[in-house]
């Protein structure tokens, strides 16, 4: 059989669908459960600055993703960026480490959204621990079943889920907007603020939580091989997604703060539902909770879709286990990769709690994926020049350098245990790479010509 008859990925995702996939990934359960965490960490009305900080970092980092994603629009995103940026020798190591951590980190992301879904469902019905685990595991299974289909069908489902996200956010923002005190949190956000070391430290720790809520703006890069007109649609979808989500997050936080006292926001586990209950009563709060659960479900759907393409890309390139390179013979999607990540996410959803995975997700990804590919971009520009790239960031290299510095600070803010965990995963990946290379007689045990 010739390669022409082999199944291949189809470029069927439009700019609308790409934006919908990004935004549904970004607005998961995160902003609804993180809102109280951020307010508690910041200890004052200035907690809005943590959400602004998350948006600023996302915009800066999106410039890195846009320049790489538009130039290398292939399945797997960062896998390709790291391989190209670090060259034939070190690129093998960096791309392997990325796939290695993805096999752990991606199921953690999927599990975190499913766990968050089950946790927030407790506002409607008080689940015990085992009932919560059964629900979170069932969510993962349902997502895998929904993704087991052609990409054009998935694109349509993504738009439908995205509409639910926008309706939910519009209702929450509208409730505060028409309550009459919408501008008060803005007017008083600097009351008692001192620009000292304590504020800087609190902002760092709080930004770990808000950045978690912005993650997903780059999901379109992992689907690069299925995006229509990727040279322009990949950058556009990312910047539109970040701008839209930043406005929605800020307005939602302002709405909640205009209705509920800061003390209640800091202590509440279901702050958005309590916000709706205060304005419209318990029945409306239950409806709002169901819409929040819709948003959480949409996020798991989008994240799982993007991550399933990463092991496939590495395996197709000969850098990972061959079985992950298999595409479904008729539906043309990487079904082995999807089933594997879904299975691991199912196990994780039974083992962990939400607060345990948020910082772990960031700590595990920052050094290799975010900082690594930013350094890789600097190396690529030095080697090939700016003319090589399909999209060029303004003010290069300032955004790249800022991204590296800020991600480094965020990494330090995840805490000692999470830093140690992230470094441990990298170390184990390095050992696995050396074992694999030795067995296959590859670099660094054999010189690359």
CA dihedral in degrees (177, 158, 80, 239; nearest 10)? -30
Residue with tokens 């052609």: 150
**β-bridge partners, 198:** none
Model pLDDT for residues 193-202, shown as the tens digit of each residue: 888 888 998 9
Residue 268 phi, psi dihedral angles, 5° rounding: -80, 140
Q: How much is the pLDDT for 391?
A: 96
In this structure, how many other beta carbons lie within 10 angstroms of the beta carbon of residue 322?
10
Residue 147 phi, psi dihedral angles, 5° rounding: -85, -5
User: Can you list the domains of the chain with their CATH numbers?
Assistant: 8-439 (1.20.1740.10)
43 has pLDDT over 50: yes
Q: Map residue 343 onto helix, strand or coil.
A: helix
Q: How much is the pLDDT for 339?
A: 94
Model pLDDT for residues 243-260, shown as the tens digit of each residue: 999 999 999 999 999 999
Question: Residue 48 and residue 255: Cα distance in Å, rounded?
Answer: 12
Question: Residue 286 and residue 193: Cα distance in Å, rounded?
Answer: 36
Model pLDDT for residues 210-224, shown as the tens digit of each residue: 998 998 899 899 889
Q: Average pLDDT over the chain, rounded to whole?
A: 89
How much is the CA Rg of the chain, to the nearest whole Å? 22
Question: Residue 110 and residue 117: Cα distance in Å, rounded?
Answer: 11
Q: How much is the pLDDT for 1?
A: 39
Contacting residues for 261 by C-beta, under 8 A, at least 6 apart: none
Model pLDDT for residues 290-318, shown as the tens digit of each residue: 988 888 888 788 778 888 888 898 888 88
39 has pLDDT over 90: yes
Question: Residue 416: exposed, middle, or buried by beta-carbon count in 10 A (0-12, 13-18, 19+)?
Answer: exposed
């Amino acid at each position: 059989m010739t390669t022409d008859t082999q199944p291949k990925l189809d470029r069927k995702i439009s700019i609308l669908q790409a934006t919908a996939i990004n935004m549904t990934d970004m607005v998961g359960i995160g902003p609804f459960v993180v809102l109280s965490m951020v307010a508690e960490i910041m200890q004052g009305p200035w907690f809005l600055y943590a959400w602004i900080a998350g948006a600023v970092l996302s915009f800066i980092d999106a410039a890195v993703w846009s320049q790489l994603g538009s130039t290398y629009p292939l399945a797997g995103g960062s896998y390709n960026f790291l391989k190209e940026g670090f060259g034939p020798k070190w690129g093998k190591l960096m791309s392997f480490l990325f796939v290695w951590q993805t096999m752990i980190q991606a199921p953690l992301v999927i599990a975190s959204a499913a766990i968050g879904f089950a946790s927030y469902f407790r506002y409607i019905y008080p689940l015990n621990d085992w009932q919560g685990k059964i629900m979170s595991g069932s969510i993962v299974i349902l997502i895998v079943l929904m993704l087991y289909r052609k990409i054009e069908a998935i694109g349509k489902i993504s738009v439908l889920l995205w509409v639910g996200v926008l309706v939910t956010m519009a209702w929450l923002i509208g409730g505060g907007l028409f309550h009459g005190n919408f501008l008060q949190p803005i007017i008083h956000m600097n009351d008692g603020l001192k620009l000292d070391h304590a504020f800087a430290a609190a902002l760092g720790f709080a930004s770990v939580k808000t950045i978690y809520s912005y993650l997903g703006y780059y999901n379109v890069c992992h689907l690069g091989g299925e995006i229509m007109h990727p040279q322009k649609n990949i950058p556009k979808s990312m910047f539109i997604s970040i701008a839209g989500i930043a406005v929605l997050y800020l307005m939602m936080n302002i709405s909640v703060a205009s209705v509920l006292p800061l003390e209640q926001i800091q202590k509440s586990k279901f702050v958005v539902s309590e916000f709706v209950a205060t304005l419209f009563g318990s029945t409306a709060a239950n409806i709002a909770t169901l819409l929040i659960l819709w948003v959480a479900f949409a996020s798991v759907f989008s994240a799982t879709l993007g991550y399933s393409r990463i092991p496939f890309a590495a395996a197709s390139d000969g850098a990972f286990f061959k079985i992950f390179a298999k595409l479904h013979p008729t539906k043309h999607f990487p079904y082995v990769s999807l089933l594997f990540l879904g299975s691991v996410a199912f196990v994780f959803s039974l083992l962990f709690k939400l607060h345990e995975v948020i910082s772990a997700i960031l700590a595990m990804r920052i050094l290799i994926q975010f900082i690594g590919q930013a350094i890789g971009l600097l190396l690529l520009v030095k080697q090939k020049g700016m003319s090589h790239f399909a999209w060029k960031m303004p003010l290069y290299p300032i955004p790249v350098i800022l991204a590296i510095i800020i991600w480094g600070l965020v990494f330090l803010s995840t805490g000692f245990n999470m830093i140690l965990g992230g470094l441990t995963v990298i170390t184990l990946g390095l050992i696995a790479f050396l074992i694999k290379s030795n067995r296959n007689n590859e670099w660094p045990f054999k010189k690359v010509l």
